[in-house]
Amino acid sequence: MKVLLVDDEPLTTESLVSYIEWDKLGVLEVKTASNGLEALELLTQFTPDIIVSDVRMPRMNGIEFATVAREQYPHVKIIFLSGYSDKEYLKSAIHLKAISYVEKPVKLEELTMALRESVYQIQAEIANRTLTQSVIRHRMLCKLIIEALPYEELQQEFGEHVPALFSMTAVRSMAIHLSVKSESELKIKETLHIEISDRLADLIDNANDQDYFFGYTDNETLFCLVNAQRVSTSEFKETARNLLYSLLLLYGDKLAFSIGIGNPSTSNDSIKDSCLSALSAVQSQFYFGTGFVFSEPPSDNRIDPSAIAAKFYPDFRQALRSDDESAISSMIDQITADIRTWRDPEISRVKNAYFRLLMILHEFAVEKGLTGTDPQQEEKFLWQEVGEISTLDSLRDYVIANVQAVFSQFQEHTAVNTRVSTVIHYIKEHFGDMDLTTRSIADNTYLSQNYMCALFKKETGKTINEYITELRLERAKELLKDRHVKLYEIALSIGITDPNYFSSMFKKSTGYTPSQYRERM
């Protein structure tokens, strides 16, 4: 974000440059000019996002300068400074759609608020323009993959947005899978979607609009299509490895990535097949983990994972009744190894195999009086939990964690309640921390993350994140009673850095935005 300060009083510009905390506003560069003409000359080499200009200046006043600047840069935000209450100036400011009209002597707090509002508006406009383009690309790519529409029909529906790449006879595709490393990063993945797509475009050397196309088909899959005449198979694989390395370097602390390379298309109609083979290849990350480039889809010769697991069900029940936790872990490891060998691309069938193990475990817990949960309710909960797991190893760990939880409950029912109480106490003491995660809670209560989450859900009927959200919302409601406390301050005090996310979460729970809720109090 760039700002241009225009004022014929050097003391004013020097003070504003020195005392406004520009970095906190997201402003990276500030330049100054002493009058309108000097500012116009500066515009030839400096493109500001925000102009802060005095109204009365020699040679060319602020209104005249802002009028010319607005013609050159229609989206620039304008803030006027003046020591005069002149109605004509106010009318001109309104005509130019100025953000604010700040009287001199300038109060830093008032000007900072006007600058902050300008930044918010700029960010919203950029996001809206970029989002519109992203939505069009998403719809176009889905049409291409699901319906295999030819180039001419795509042009009829999407016009100039259809790249010439789609008319080429040979296209290579890669599917980039994005996943969060923890539930607390879900919002971050959404906010980074467009940025990641834009970054990838920059990372492909010498790329131009005719050579590549990026678009999301869903919340987790970003496709990259490239002119096959421009890159060979080996070059495309090397490009994929470089992209993966760059993504991990940029976002690896929050997100996990895998890339699947599809078979090249030989005609416009087979772009769909190329994309689907890339999607099939990237699904291998479920079996081998994230952070790899997969170029070979699973074999068509495969065995139903449920059939593999079914052979172990009788022994699994017997080991539960015999209190043989070691044998159970060995069985789950063997099931996992066998399923990994066959790499069934229908991941839902794999998850169903482990889901059946969990239901057998639940039946055992009911028999021992360890839980009174309705089987249908437990079935719904377990299937939802299993459905959200993204790798085979995590699925294995989840089942083992549930086995451990049942055996621990069976042996130390009182201790279990104590552990849950410890977790609740820690959350109540730290729910306002911005870096609070299930991992940090587990580390500070000396429990494994999977075991803690399964245990908390079983004892309280809600997930840890649901419980944290409830505490935060209750605290927010209390703070809203004080009308002097700003909404972003309330969000920060309950551990949320994004005011928009806070507003969305609050409305989802109460049916009202924080402002609406405050007005009804």
pLDDT of residue 160: 77
Quickly name the fold that domain 163-294 has.
Alpha-Beta Plaits (3.30.70)
Q: Where residue 512 falls among pLDDT bands split at 50, 70, 90?
A: confident
The rounded percent of the chain whose pLDDT value lies above 70 is 90
Cα 102 to Cα 86: distance, rounded to the nearest angstrom: 13
Cα 130 to Cα 412: distance, rounded to the nearest angstrom: 55
Residue 82 clears pLDDT 60, i.e. is over it: yes
Amino acid at 348: S
Cα 463 to Cα 469: distance, rounded to the nearest angstrom: 10
Average pLDDT for residues 230-259, to the nearest whole number? 89
Within the chain, all domains assigned CATH 1.10.10.60 are found at: 415-520
Average pLDDT for residues 197-203, to the nearest whole number? 76
pLDDT of residue 317: 92
Q: Where residue 441 falls among pLDDT bands split at 50, 70, 90?
A: very high
Within the chain, all domains assigned CATH 3.30.70.270 are found at: 163-294
What CATH code would you report for 2-123? 3.40.50.2300
User: Of residues 93 and 163, which shows the higher confidence score?
Assistant: 163
Q: Which of 282, 280, 241, 285 is nearest to 389 (CA)?
A: 285
Cα 381 to Cα 83: distance, rounded to the nearest angstrom: 65
- Span 11-32, pLDDT tens digits: 888 989 999 999 889 899 999 9
Within the chain, all domains assigned CATH 3.40.50.2300 are found at: 2-123
166 close to 238: Cβ distance less than 8 angstroms: no
Where are the alpha helices (H) located in 252-346, listed in sequence order? 271-282, 285-288, 305-310, 313-321, 325-342
pLDDT of residue 32: 93
pLDDT of residue 210: 46
pLDDT of residue 206: 47
The rounded percent of the chain whose pLDDT value lies above 90 is 24
What is the signed CA dihedral for 118, 123, 129, 133, rounded to 10 degrees?
170
How distant is the alpha carbon of residue 10 from its chain centre?
A: 44
pTM of the model: 0.52
pLDDT of residue 207: 43
Count of C-beta atoms within a 10 Å radius of residue 337: 12
- Rg of the chain's alpha carbons, rounded to an integer? 29
Residue 301 clears pLDDT 60, i.e. is over it: yes
- Span 382-396, pLDDT tens digits: 898 898 887 899 899
Residue 457 clears pLDDT 50, i.e. is over it: yes
DSSP string, 401-439: HHHHHHHHHHH-HHHHHHHHHHHHHHHHHHTT-TT--HH
Is the CATH number of domain 415-520 1.10.10.60? yes
